[in-house]
Amino acid sequence: NSSTSVTSLYPKNSIPYSTPYFSGYTTVAGPFYPFGAGDTENDRSDDGISPVISLLQPFRFFGETYNQLYINNNGYLTFDWPWYSYFPYQFPGYGGEDLIAPFWTDIDNRGNGFISYRQYSSGSVLTEATQDINQYFTDLSFSATWVFVATWDRVAYYPYSGTETSFQVVLISDGHFSFVLFNYGTIAPTQRYAGYDTISSTYHFSITGSLQYNITSLTYSSNVNVPGRWVFRTDHGSQAVFYPFGAGDIVNDRSDDGSSSVIYFLHHFIFFGQTYSQIYVSLCT
């Protein structure tokens, strides 16, 4: 059997995601969505992968619409076909697949840890997702109709049996807008990659520190001011979040390869140990 129910592996998980969750034997902190009872578990296999998972609702990912996906044990999702790789590469990869990688590394769940997933089309998880997205994207009036949660719970790295790392990827959609959440608990040191890439790398993103060894800061990092959580809107690549600009700005000269004149700061700016009081803005991006 390529997948098994894990209802018997975990007690009912009714603790709010913002508090430490209990998933069987230990309590682990992290901004996790509920998981455990009712999930489907991936096989215990080094470099294993789920069977094709048919989605209850289509998911839009940078202009593509998908009705299925695969979960690789090594910490990433693909859509069109099962893809096997235990060694992460740097984005942009200019490859032929859409790839979501919350924590791409060489994972071996044969000794300890569980990799499981579940879809929701009703209930409290949709309410939770709706509240989260409206908090992070205040210009939208969003109401989630589908949530997919995949969890790597206290998994080990190959060949270091006994290490424990916990993380999640959450897909959220209302049929029009789509979002991807990465949630991180305790992270054991290893070389890994975190981000997403698209076909031919038209759109891609890498979390700072990816491919560095012994970087465990994902537990404390965030782009939405929630330690251990990263959130991305993924339905269309033209969407972006900007600070206000335009009226009142100073405009650089229209010039090929030009630059601004010296710009003096109102306050000192510290950049990796150096303190600066001025800057230049080049037209060469």
The mean predicted confidence, pLDDT, of the chain is 85
What is the spatial distance between Cα 8 and Cα 36, in angstroms, rounded to a whole number? 9
> What pLDDT is recorded for position 17?
33
Q: Burial level of 28, CB count in 10 A (0-12/13-18/19+)?
A: middle
The answer to whether residue 24 scores a pLDDT higher than 70 is no
Give the separation between CA 237 and CA 200, rounded to whole angstroms.
13
Each residue of 86-139: pLDDT tens digit? Answer: 888 899 999 999 999 999 999 999 989 999 999 999 999 999 999 999 999 999
pTM: 0.76
206 pLDDT tier (thresholds 50, 70, 90): very high
- List Cβ neighbours of 191 (8 Å cut-off, separation of 6 or more): 88, 105, 211, 212, 213
Q: How far apart are the first and last CA of the chain?
A: 52
- Residue 47 corresponds to which tokens in the numbers above? 């470099």
Within 8 A by CB and 6+ apart from 165, the residues are 103, 107, 113, 152, 154, 155, 156, 157, 185, 186, 187, 188, 190
pLDDT, one tens digit per residue, over 174-189 is: 999 999 999 999 999 8
Distance between CA 164 and CA 218 in Å, rounded? Answer: 14
pLDDT of residue 267: 85
> Hey, what are 143's tokens?
């109401």
Q: In the chain, what's the furthest Cα-to-Cα distance?
A: 67
Q: What is the pLDDT of residues 62-94, one digit of tens each?
A: 999 999 999 999 999 999 999 888 888 899 999
pLDDT at residue 252 in the model: 85
Q: DSSP label at 251?
A: P
Q: Is the pLDDT of residue 6 over 70?
A: no
